[in-house]
């Protein structure tokens, strides 16, 4: 990482998306959130955020797409204000420009990774020197997936998603095809609410039962040693309630399952984006090129992605 110097007044941060290899709902917590056991994986589909210091103490946000609010309800602005208010940084401001590449409302943590990038970017731009543990604390306040996005890679995520146990760097060469209907989006609270409606009789209640689920995930052969030839079984409990009522998810899963050579297909997070795994980028890319037109004709956007070992990263200083 380049040394900070007094000249530095802008920087660019890369904010990668994530997929879920495993999303298991264990029960309901006292705070109303669900107790989860997940494995999240960062991928190389990423937003870019440009931060420039301003001396008026204001936070401004602009974005290259129209259908995203750039006001105080945007998680980027909320993250910047949280940092400013926590440390009483009255005079410090930033003009933030978002290049949005991750689809919105897709189950890929697009908003969460932008929030994580804002914490990292402003920590650097404003020369706050906060350690990652402190940024994680702030990240928890912004959303359940934000702490994961800070460091990315492959991580076990427990609690409401914010209690992290990083796995060693993915030595896997696996890659994926990701698809999403641009006109569909799924609200995360709606997906969890629907799951609760349908499945709450099966919820575990005792902490000892939660812990035994965590233990079996920690010990799962496909994670130990990571990628030792075993494939992730790809479990997503939210898929059970989102897929039956979301035609674009049904279509996406069908098209992906029909691709010969895929190693497994699932929805990511609360959807509606879906992905198929392949052994390496060459096979993923060749299948992607063969099917790109088909996805297009079906009205789906598509991407070919690699797994990523890191979370948000500072790309350039100016």
User: Annotated active-site positions, please?
Assistant: 18, 145
Burial 190-218 (b: 16+ CB within 10 A, else e): ebbebbeeeeeeeeeeeeeebeebbeebe
* Closer of 52 and 160 to ligand C5P (Cβ): 160
* Residue count, binding to ligand C5P (CB under 6 A): 11
User: Footprint of ligand C5P on residues 34-73 (CB under 6 A)?
Assistant: 34, 36
Q: Which of 60, 173, 188, 285 binds ligand C5P (CB under 6 A)?
A: 188
* Closer of 16 and 161 to ligand C5P (Cβ): 161
Say whether residue 143 binds ligand C5P (CB under 6 A).
yes
CA distance 123 to 125: 6
User: Nearest to residue 80, comparing CAs of 106, 110, 103, 49?
Assistant: 49
Say whether residue 13 binds ligand C5P (CB under 6 A).
no
Say whether residue 78 binds ligand C5P (CB under 6 A).
no
User: Nearest to residue 185, comparing CAs of 243, 107, 261, 105?
Assistant: 105
Are the CB atoms for 307 and 43 separated by under 8 Å? yes
Q: Which of 33, 87, 203, 317 binds ligand C5P (CB under 6 A)?
A: 33
Segment lying near ligand C5P (by CB under 6 A), choices 176-184, 188-196, 223-231, 294-302: 188-196
CA distance 214 to 26: 10
Say whether residue 160 binds ligand C5P (CB under 6 A).
yes
Q: Which of 103, 107, 153, 161 binds ligand C5P (CB under 6 A)?
A: 161
Can you name the residues that pair with 53 across neighbouring β-strands? 94
SS3 146: helix
> Would you tell me which residues interact with ligand C5P (CB under 6 A)?
33-34, 36, 143-145, 160-161, 188-189, 192
């Amino acid at each position: 990482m380049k040394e900070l110097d007094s000249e530095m007044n802008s920087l660019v941060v890369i904010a990668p998306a994530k997929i879920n290899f495993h999303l298991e709902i264990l029960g309901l917590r006292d705070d109303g959130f669900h107790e989860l056991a997940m494995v999240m994986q960062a991928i190389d589909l990423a937003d870019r955020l440009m931060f420039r210091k301003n001396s008026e103490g204001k936070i401004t946000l602009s974005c290259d797409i129209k259908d995203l609010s750039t006001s105080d309800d945007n998680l980027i602005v909320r993250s910047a204000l949280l940092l400013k208010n926590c440390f009483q940084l009255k005079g410090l401001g930033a003009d933030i420009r978002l290049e949005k590449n991750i689809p919105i409302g897709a189950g890929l943590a697009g908003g969460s990774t932008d929030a994580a990038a804002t914490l990292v970017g402003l920590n650097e731009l404003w020369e706050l020197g906060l350690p990652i543990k402190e940024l994680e604390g702030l990240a928890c306040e912004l959303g359940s997936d934000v702490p994961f996005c800070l460091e990315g890679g492959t991580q076990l995520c427990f609690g409401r998603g914010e209690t992290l146990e990083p796995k060693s760097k993915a030595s896997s060469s696996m890659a994926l095809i990701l698809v999403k209907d641009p006109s569909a989006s799924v609200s995360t609270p709606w997906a969890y609410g629907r799951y609760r409606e349908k499945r709450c009789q099966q919820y575990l209640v005792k902490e000892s039962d939660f812990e035994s689920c965590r233990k079996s995930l920690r010990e799962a052969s496909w994670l130990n040693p990571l990628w030792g030839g075993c494939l992730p079984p790809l479990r997503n409990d939210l898929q059970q309630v989102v897929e039956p009522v979301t035609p674009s998810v049904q279509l996406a899963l069908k098209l992906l399952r029909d691709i010969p050579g895929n190693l497994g297909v699932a929805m990511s997070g609360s959807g509606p984006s879906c992905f198929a795994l392949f052994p390496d980028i060459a096979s993923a890319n060749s299948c992607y090129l063969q099917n790109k037109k088909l996805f297009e004709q079906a009205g789906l956007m598509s991407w070919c992605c690699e797994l990523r070992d890191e979370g948000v990263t500072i790309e350039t200083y100016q």
